[in-house]
Amino acid sequence: MRGEEKPQVCVIGLGYIGLPTAAIIARANCPVTGVDVTESVVETINRGEIHIEEVDLDGLVRGVVQRGMLKASTEIVPADVFVIAVPTPFEKDGHHTPDTSYVMSAAAEVAGVLKKGDTIILESTSPVGTTEAMRELISGLRPDLKLPGKTDETPDVAIAYCPERVLPGKILEELTHNDRSIGGITPRCARKALAFYKRFVRGTCVTTDARSAEMTKLVENAYRDVNIAFANELSMISDEMDLDVWEVIKLANRHPRVNILQPGPGVGGHCIAVDPYFIIHGAPEQSPLIRTGREVNDAKMHHVVEQATKLIEANPGAPVACLGLAFKANIDDFRESPARFVAAKIARQFGERVKIVEPYAAELPREFESTGAELVDIDFALENCGILIVLVDHDIFKVVPAEERQHAIVYDTRGIWPDAQMKPSKPGLRLAS
């Protein structure tokens, strides 16, 4: 394939990362086959519809499917560029061991159709060394191909790692405009991958080696986690000392070289709460700070449950509204969500008193079954609940005016209602003014 020709692209894994990526590549007029093991995902996309919530993704997918630029399939097809965006969860061993089996199984599928000239790019967040491990696997399956780093001759294929750093809710914008680190197994691999990303990325693409690119992604999220842990630890200290953490942080941030992040009910999602463990697993002795950051952020969830429990017990009979289940604002993703953890604990304890408000959920997750808790809308909660526990900073909650919540006792774990006053007798709890 020469530089000016449009490559045929195969994107493997059509979830929150793979589907928007496939759609954006298709929009750049490269024909894309999206591959997913889940048949319903494939059927939905081939109807021009989407199975995840993401701003503007529905129109984009509909358009590229109608133009014939994006097709979905459960079977891998030959292509010029393969982009792997499958999950990288933990193993079920209880030790937060990274599970790269999805990546390896996708790489094995690719090996089956790989030909000279192809480029394979891993986008899944991965422990350091995964791209090389993928190369080893392919090498074993395709001894007929010369692989990068394993031959003194020009290799037949290029293999690179290029992580995603998108923000759910802004994925399409950030996929296009964010800077990217592109790590090749060799510099030649990095250049091949760079040429591909240049077709649809407007941000600056910086090339490096695969291991550095893998570590860069993990470091970005470990950095966020440790800094949020600092804010969460301050919030627990402030609760103990009867201080308003929001006020303390606001004042401290007036220092020109201080920028403390905002506390919350914990840290969730499948990135910030997960990726630090990929570093810890690789260098357990050298990562006490990163490990402690994880522990502090997990402890914050339990702290919120305790504080909420005290508040609810102190106000017998008052209906309780838990505002939000998503792991962050304005998205429908409830995976690894501290809000969901806290709300489920409260629902199990207080049953029918508990109402859940989650504008992005059609029904409550399974763990709420038989708790008696009920999904309601924000208007119902404001009209009927005497206790409001803010767990997610969805825009729809932020805009609730003070007069509509002044009857209620508020426990605002996100600091979205700054007009609410600290209630000194209950550290960390705010009463609407």
**Residues near ligand NAD (CB under 6 A):** 12-18, 35-38, 41, 85-88, 102, 105-106, 124-125, 164, 166, 168, 270-271
CA distance 183 to 149: 13
Residue 136 or 220 with smaller CB distance to ligand NAD: 220
Q: Give CA–CA dist 367/363, Å, rounded.
A: 11
Q: Which helix (H) or strand (E) holds 83?
A: strand 81-84
Closer of 37 and 206 to ligand NAD (Cβ): 37
User: 337, 10, 21, 333: which is closest to 166 by C-alpha?
Assistant: 21
Residue 172: CB minimum distance to ligand NAD, A:
12
Beta strand pairing status for 158-161 and 180-184? antiparallel
CA distances from 339 to 23, 132, 244, 293, 295 (A): 31, 37, 21, 18, 17
- Of 267 and 356, nearer to ligand NAD (C-beta) is 267
Shortest gap between Cβ of 97 and ligand NAD (angstroms)?
A: 15
When the beta carbons of 166 and 373 are compared against ligand NAD, the nearer one is 166
Element of type H or E holding 210: helix 210-241
Q: Which residues are catalytic?
A: 217, 271
User: Is the CB of 85 or the CB of 182 nearer to ligand NAD?
Assistant: 85
* HEC string for 187-202: HHHHHHHHHHHCCCCC
What is the closest distance, in whole angstroms, from the C-beta atom of residue 136 to ligand NAD in the complex?
A: 18
Tokens of 388: 């409001």
Residue number, nearest CB to ligand NAD: 15
Burial environment of residue 401 by CB neighbours within 10 A (0 to 12, 13 to 18, 19 or more): exposed
Q: 120, 114 in Cβ contact below 8 A? A: yes
Closest CA to 125 of 24, 271, 269, 238: 271
Which is nearer to ligand NAD, 60 or 106 (by Cβ)?
A: 106
Instruction: Report the DSSP pairing between strands 320-323 and 354-357.
Output: parallel
Residue 300 CB, nearest approach to ligand NAD (Å): 21
Tell the smallest beta-carbon distance from residue 310 to ligand NAD (Å). 34
Look at residues 327, 332, 272 and name the one whose alpha carbon lies nearest to residue 15.
Answer: 332
